[in-house]
Structure formats: C-alpha cells, structure tokens
C-alpha cells in the first residue's frame, strides 16, 4: 500500500490544534509618533498555514522523495542535458570547512588558499579549451553564453564596429538565440543542413559586415562532430566575425581536441555536463567562459590573478571589463566539484572519460537502431538522436508514449522532441558513467516497449502516483494557492 503521506498535500494532513506557535512577541519598543508598520501591510490574522506535527512533516517529504527519479536512483539518458553520476567524493571535498565556511566579504589575505584553487581552475579550463582568457563568474551555461556575447559586443564597440547579427543553425540549443537576443543582437537561424551539418553555402550567403558571431555546438545536437568546423571558422574570420562554441558537449572531446585549435574564439563550459557538478531543480550552477587573448580584457569582473613576485592571489577587474553579470565571484561550491573532478582524473583520465562517453553512446545506438530509426547514421559522438516516427505512423504510438512507458520499467526517458529537426525525436546520452549492464537493460526495455500493444503504451505510465497530468494546462494556468487545499 502506498504511504498516504507521500501523496497528500500538507494542507490535507492539517489538523486544527496540532500546530505550535513558535514566534515570540515583538520586542521592539513603541515610540510615540513613529509608526512601526502601516496597517495596510499587516495581516488581519494568523497565516493559514497547515498544523502538522514534525514527524508527519519529515515523513511526508521523505516519502515524497521516493516518488521522484534522480541520477542516484535511476538511469537518466537525457541527451543534451547530460545527467551523469555525481561522485560523492567531490561532495565531501566541497564541504570541507576551508571552502564551505568561506565568505565572499572576507579579505583576500584570509582566502589565499581558496583563490589559489580557483586560479588553478582557470588555468586548467584554459588548457582544456585552448583559449587563454577564462572567467569563472557566470552562474550557469546559459548565462555563460550571454556573458561571452556581451564580451564580444564590447570588443566590437571598442574597435568602432557596429555588428548586429548572430547566426546559429536550427539544431542549436534554445539558449543560443535567447542569449543573443538578450545581448542585443539580431538572431539569424540557418537550416542546419540536410545531413545534420552546417550548410557552408547557406552560411556563406549570410556572412557580411553585419555578422558578429556564429554560435555552433560541436559536437552538435545530433551527436555529430562538425567535420568542416575549421572551414566554418575561416569563413567567419574572413568577414571579421567571431566563432562561439557552445560547450555543452565538451564531454565528448576532452583531451581529444580543443575549441581554440579548431577555430573557436569563445566558449562556455557546463560544469554539470562536463565535470559532474549537480544538475537540476533550478539549483546552483556554474558556467565558466573561455576566450581568446584579445577578448580577455573585456571579461566580466572579477577574475583571479596571480602576482608571482608577491606570491599573492587577487580578485581583479580586467582593463575593459563589461562589469558584473551576477553577485560576487561565482558559484564556488560547484566550481570546486569540477576542480576535484579534473584533478582526480588528470589529463589522461579526462581523455578516457570522453572515449568512454563516445563508446557508450555508439554501443547504445547499435542496440536500438534495428527497431528505432536513427536518421543521421550508424556512428555518433557522445549522444545520438533516434526517432519514433515509424512507430507513430504504424501504430499511433508517439515518442511521448514511449517516454511515459519507460517510467514503468524504472528508467527516466531520454530527451524528447529535441532537436526539432528530427520528427518524434528521442535524444539519448548514456554518459561515460554507466555500465554495460545498465545500457543493455535500457535497450531491452525500449525494445520491449516497441513490441507491446499500442493501447498499453498509450496509457502509460501504469505504476506511478500520477499518470498523465495536463502539462500544457498546468503551464498556462498554474494553481498558485497556499491558503486552503480546495481553493
């Protein structure tokens, strides 16, 4: 029997008289003629909070957590989003008091050790990318994109150039055009090419004196390495533009090739995708950026610098900095987890991690290609995009149906309906952290689902507390109420 405290709302569990008032009376003295708070801002009575004993609250949230999926409890083959296992060793190290108890307002003299670690992180990210200028400041990958584009815009202004357009393929992550628009650029989308690669002729037709940046993910979102990336870079540079490499898929090329070496001028890292920082739930993130030397003076402040003569680390403002894009330095706790991952593996280990990510993806592709279409070939990098179009045409079973049915088998679904250039897309990324047994079990579940009666699959999931909520209606008409359970 399912524990009712896992599915009931706290308001439904409330029982009058069970709550305890813990707030003391105000100790602020009355001062004649000086109002404390205007009457309009005072509640007319006690807040209508649920009255529940502490054990019931604890059991409610613990039981609720067992209904959720997480990378610690289930396989998460999310293509593009990259949900890899987070080593607990890195969690323990990041909680060491020397780091966890530091405060952003402490003087530099009190955090020299921490600054030295962050400086080393900057240098390692520069080496991995082949781009010497690094800022750890941005809060996440999307903000890293936005920050790098602001840096590029500042460089163009400093040169007296009025470049207004950012180009990107149709298969780009949605954050690419969003970041470009927020940075004040006009967005120009290319088709992406029929074979999944950048169409060089189409790109050439859009290049002119207005071109500021071409944003491209490499490997791209179809799991393919852009074979003409060096040519693409030369084309952009020939018209005075810059190449932005979306670093979301860096875990496929670590130690094998570097964005700076194949023509990239700027990039961001997703620490959670590449270096095992925790991911999801809108929690903390980090999106370091790396740029060429001529862009480094425009990076956001602060960056960590080192004075060898004094043996001293400082938080410094680059000469022509665009300023801050967030508070303080950055999310140090997440950066530390990435730092420990890099130091644990070393250069050889990072390369092996990429090789295993590519091996796992190609193995999984080989196991599903006979019953799911894979439109873009028999080989991939760290992820690939399959399609359930055949199933939809024959039986009416859609990608969403398959995704829901996977829940009954104890697997989270792959990324669905992205990229948009593939109909009924199932984007799969096993990562380097999954075993052969897990991949076989997942492929077996997919195979079985694709042979099950359509009515069974269309009605899935059958084993979860909630089956198929009206997601569109929930997004458009959310119930934002906390005063009563039936409001």
**Does residue 29 carry a pLDDT above 90?**
no
**CB-CB contact of 104 with 89 (8 Å):** no
Residue position matching structure tokens 């990076």? 299
Q: Quick one: pLDDT band at residue 69, thresholds 50, 70, 90?
A: confident
List the chain domain ranges: 88-344, 369-466
**Does residue 484 carry a pLDDT above 50?**
no
**Does residue 94 carry a pLDDT above 80?**
yes
**Does residue 2 carry a pLDDT above 60?**
no
Which one is predicted more confidently, 475 or 228?
228
Q: Quick one: pLDDT band at residue 107, thresholds 50, 70, 90?
A: very high
Q: What is the pLDDT of residue 487?
A: 40
Q: Quick one: pLDDT band at residue 1, thresholds 50, 70, 90?
A: very low
Q: Which of 78-87, 157-166, 285-294, 297-306 has the lowest mean pLDDT?
A: 78-87
Q: What is the mean pLDDT of residues 422-429?
A: 97
Q: What is the pLDDT of residue 471?
A: 82
Q: What is the pLDDT of residue 486?
A: 43
Q: What is the pLDDT of residues 9-27, one digit of tens each?
A: 888 889 888 876 677 777 8
Q: What is the pLDDT of residue 315?
A: 95
Q: What is the pLDDT of residues 118-174, one digit of tens each?
A: 999 999 999 999 999 999 999 989 999 999 999 999 999 999 999 999 999 998 998
Q: What is the pLDDT of residue 35?
A: 67
Q: What is the pLDDT of residue 3?
A: 54
**Does residue 300 carry a pLDDT above 50?**
yes
Are 88-344 and 369-466 in the same CATH fold? no
The C-alpha atoms of residue 87 and residue 356 are separated, in whole angstroms, by 17
Q: What is the pLDDT of residues 215-261, one digit of tens each?
A: 999 999 999 999 999 999 999 999 999 999 999 999 999 999 999 99
**Does residue 362 carry a pLDDT above 80?**
yes
Q: What is the pLDDT of residue 70?
A: 84
Choosing among 3.40.50.620, 3.10.129.10, 3.90.1150.10, 3.40.1390.20, the CATH entry for 369-466 is 3.90.1150.10
Share of the chain above pLDDT 90, in %: 69
**Does residue 458 carry a pLDDT above 60?**
yes
On average, the pLDDT of the chain sits at: 91
The C-alpha atoms of residue 241 and residue 217 are separated, in whole angstroms, by 17
- Let me know if domain 88-344 sits in CATH 3.40.640.10: yes
Which one is predicted more confidently, 269 or 41?
269
Strands 266-268, 186-190: pairing kind: unpaired
């Amino acid at each position: 029997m399912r524990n009712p405290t896992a599915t009931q709302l706290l308001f439904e569990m409330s029982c009058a008289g069970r709550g305890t008032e813990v707030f003391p009376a105000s100790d602020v003295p009355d001062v004649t003629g000086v109002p404390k708070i205007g009457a309009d801002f005072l509640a007319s009575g006690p807040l209508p909070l649920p009255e529940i004993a502490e054990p019931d609250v604890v059991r409610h949230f613990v039981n609720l957590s067992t209904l959720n999926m997480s990378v610690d409890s289930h396989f998460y083959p999310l293509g593009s989003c990259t949900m890899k296992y987070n080593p607990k060793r890195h969690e323990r190290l990041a909680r060491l008091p020397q780091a966890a108890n530091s405060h952003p307002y402490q003087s530099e003299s009190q955090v020299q050790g921490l600054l030295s670690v962050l400086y080393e992180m900057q240098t390692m990210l520069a080496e991995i990318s082949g781009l010497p200028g690094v800022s750890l400041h941005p809060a996440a990958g999307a903000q890293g994109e936005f920050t790098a584009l602001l840096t590029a815009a500042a460089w163009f202004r400093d040169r007296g150039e009025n470049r207004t357009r950012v180009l990107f393929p149709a298969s780009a992550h949605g954050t690419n055009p969003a970041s470009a628009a927020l940075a004040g650029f006009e967005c120009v989308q290319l088709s992406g090419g029929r074979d999944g690669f950048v169409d060089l002729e189409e790109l050439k037709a859009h290049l002119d004196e207005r071109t500021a940046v071409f944003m491209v993910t490499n490997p791209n979102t179809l799991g393919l390495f852009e074979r003409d990336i060096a040519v693409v870079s030369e084309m952009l540079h020939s018209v005075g533009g810059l190449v932005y490499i979306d670093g979301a898929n860096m875990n496929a090329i670590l130690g094998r090739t570097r964005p700076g070496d194949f023509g990239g001028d700027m990039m961001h890292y997703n620490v959670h995708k590449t270096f095992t920082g925790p991911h999801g739930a809108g929690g903390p993130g980090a999106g370091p950026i790396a740029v060429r030397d001529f862009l480094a003076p425009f990076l956001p402040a602060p960056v960590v610098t080192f004075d060898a003569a004094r043996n001293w680390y400082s938080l410094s403002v680059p000469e022509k900095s665009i300023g801050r894009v967030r508070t303080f330095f950055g999310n140090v706790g997440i950066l530390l987890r990435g730092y420990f991952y890099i130091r644990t593996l070393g250069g050889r280990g990072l390369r092996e991690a990429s090789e295993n990510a590519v091996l796992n993806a190609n193995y999984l592709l080989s196991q599903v290609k006979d019953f799911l279409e894979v439109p873009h070939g028999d080989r991939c990098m760290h992820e690939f995009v399959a399609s359930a179009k055949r199933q939809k045409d024959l039986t009416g079973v859609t990608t969403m149906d398959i995704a829901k049915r996977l829940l009954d088998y104890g697997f989270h679904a792959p990324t669905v309906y992205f990229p948009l250039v593939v109909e009924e897309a199932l984007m799969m990324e096993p990562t380097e952290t999954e075993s052969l047994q897990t991949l076989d079990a997942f492929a077996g579940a997919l195979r079985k689902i694709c042979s099950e009666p359509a009515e069974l699959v269309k009605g899935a999931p059958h084993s979860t507390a909630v089956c198929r909520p009206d997601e569109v209606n929930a997004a458009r008409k959310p119930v934002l109420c906390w005063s009563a359970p039936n409001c």
